[in-house]
Amino acid sequence: MKKIALQILGIIVLIPAVGMATLRVENQNADGPSILFPGGEMTTGRLHTSPEPDWGFTDDIQLVELQLNDPMASRLIYVLEADGRLFIISGYMTTMLGRLWKEWAFEADEGNNQGVLRVDDVRYPRTLVRIEEGDILDGVAAKLITKYGGAPNASPEAIARTRAGIEAGNSWVFELIPR
Amino acid sequence: MKTKNYLILCAAVALATSMSILFMPGLSDTVETRMLSWLGNNARAEQPY
């Protein structure tokens, strides 16, 4: 009886596991990521070649699509504008979860940092540069707290705490520089 | 069920699951939407990025 129960349990676990693996593989070559799974090379959308826009419009956008070229993969990610510059942030970086889930951030930090940002169907060729220190992190921290933390204002204490987390390497901030 | 038969059943179920998702129109979107809904209901966000 116990054996039959375990066999049924095995089938119940097998179906979603195979389903998730299939969806992940299916999405690997898609034009951009899905909500849950990374995608492939982003090929559609106008290629931006004119001067840099005012990135303030991203304050109204929760998620953007970011592609790294080596290895070629794209994912959805939060975006932060501060002082007219554009940033992305990757959390959980000192945890095992971060090492497994945020492999792209390690790749970018190691130099495989050429990619494409797609916002509102426009593709912006970018280079990711990790920012580990500097006063710009105050602006990034403030925007993170108000945009994604749900706080109406960012107090100096909250900014200092968030900035300390970035400088300690708990979260990695990358600036998206045009290339 | 004998182990050999069980493993054959597992392989068949895995194959049927994969083929269904790959070739049934709309099924992959439905599965992903359901999964996202389940995650949304069960996951607790501690850090928003």
pLDDT tens profile A94-147: 988 878 888 999 999 999 999 999 999 999 999 999 999 999 999 999 999 999
Domain limits of chain B? 3-42
Which fold is adopted by the domain A31-178?
A: Pnp Oxidase; Chain A (2.30.110)
* A58 contact partners, CB below 8 Å, separation of at least 6: A64, A79, A80, A81, A86, A119
Q: How far apart are CA B11 and CA B23, in angstroms?
A: 18
Q: What is the ipTM of this complex?
A: 0.78
Domain limits of chain A? 31-178
Report pLDDT digits (tens) over B18-39.
999 999 988 888 888 888 788 7
Contacts A19 to B, Cβ<8 Å:
17, 21, 31
Helical ranges in chain A per DSSP H = 2-27, 96-101, 103-109, 136-147, 156-167
* Binding-site residues on chain B for chain A (CB distance < 8 A): 1, 6, 9-10, 13-14, 17-18, 21-22, 28, 31-32, 35-36, 39, 47-49
What was the pLDDT predicted at B29?
Answer: 85
Report pLDDT digits (tens) over A69-102.
999 999 999 999 999 999 999 998 998 887 888 8
Structure tokens at A102: 């945020």
Q: Which DSSP string corresponds to A120-155?
A: TTEEEEEEEEEE-SSTHHHHHHHHHHHHTS--SS--
Report pLDDT digits (tens) over A150-170.
888 999 999 999 999 999 999
Q: State the CB neighbour count (10 A cutoff) for residue B41.
A: 7
What was the pLDDT predicted at B49?
Answer: 56
Residue A56 contacts residue A119 (beta carbons within 8 Å): no
Contacts A64 to B, Cβ<8 Å:
none
Q: How far apart are CA B43 and CA B1, in angstroms?
A: 36
Question: What pLDDT band is residue A25 in, cutting at 50, 70 and 90?
Answer: very high
| Chain A residue with the nearest C-alpha to that of B47 | A91
Question: What pLDDT band is residue B48 in, cutting at 50, 70 and 90?
Answer: very low
Contact B49 A148 (CB under 8 A): yes
Q: State the CB neighbour count (10 A cutoff) for residue A103.
A: 14
What was the pLDDT predicted at B39?
Answer: 75
Distances (CA, A) of B34 to A20, A30, A32, A143: 12, 20, 20, 32
Question: What pLDDT band is residue B42 in, cutting at 50, 70 and 90?
Answer: confident
